[in-house]
Amino acid sequence: MSADHPSIARFREEHERLGGSGEIVILPDSVHTAALAAEALGCEVGAIANSLLFDADGSPVLILTSGAHRVDTALTRERIGGAELKRAKPEFVKQHTGQVIGGVSPIAHPAPIATYLDSWLQKYDVVWAAAGHPAAVFSTSYDELLALTGATPIDVD
């Protein structure tokens, strides 16, 4: 995997534009699950920020959740309001993020997406998230991730 891959390059440009300070790491293999990412990075699975895109009656909703959590969609819907949250299909994810499942970054999407950040991630000094491709990740902090994304903090489980 090359750091010049178009989705990684778009991520890098947006990350720099927003003032992100973390390191972008290209791993030798795809890390499309939190467990694989944690193993490759040598960190706890809870320190991985999964970018999960949901379809809320045709509108995208991005939930950045700790790899240690599963999103309770009914409870999360009650907390954020709006339509039922359904797992987005791959085409929907690609359309709204410009990225593929397993590599969706918290930023660098074609248009703004309503974003929510799992409060649990505050427990970690360093948080890792996808950088636009399943083999690319970046380091950040909870506070920086909140600032980069403009997300609303939420409990997801």
Residue type, position 79, single letter: R
134 vs 54, more confident: 54
Q: Is the pLDDT of residue 1 over 60?
A: no
110 lies in some domain: yes
pLDDT digits (tens, 9 = 90+) for 12-43: 999 999 999 999 999 887 777 888 888 889 99
pLDDT digits (tens, 9 = 90+) for 70-102: 899 999 999 999 899 999 999 999 999 999 998
144 lies in some domain: yes
138 lies in some domain: yes
Look at the chain and report how many structural domains it folds into: 1
CATH number at residue 137: 3.90.960.10
1 lies in some domain: no
Domain span including residue 82: 6-154
Burial class of 96 by CB neighbour count within 10 A (0 to 12, 13 to 18, 19+): buried
- Report whether 137 contacts 25 (CB < 8 A): yes
pTM, two decimals, is 0.93
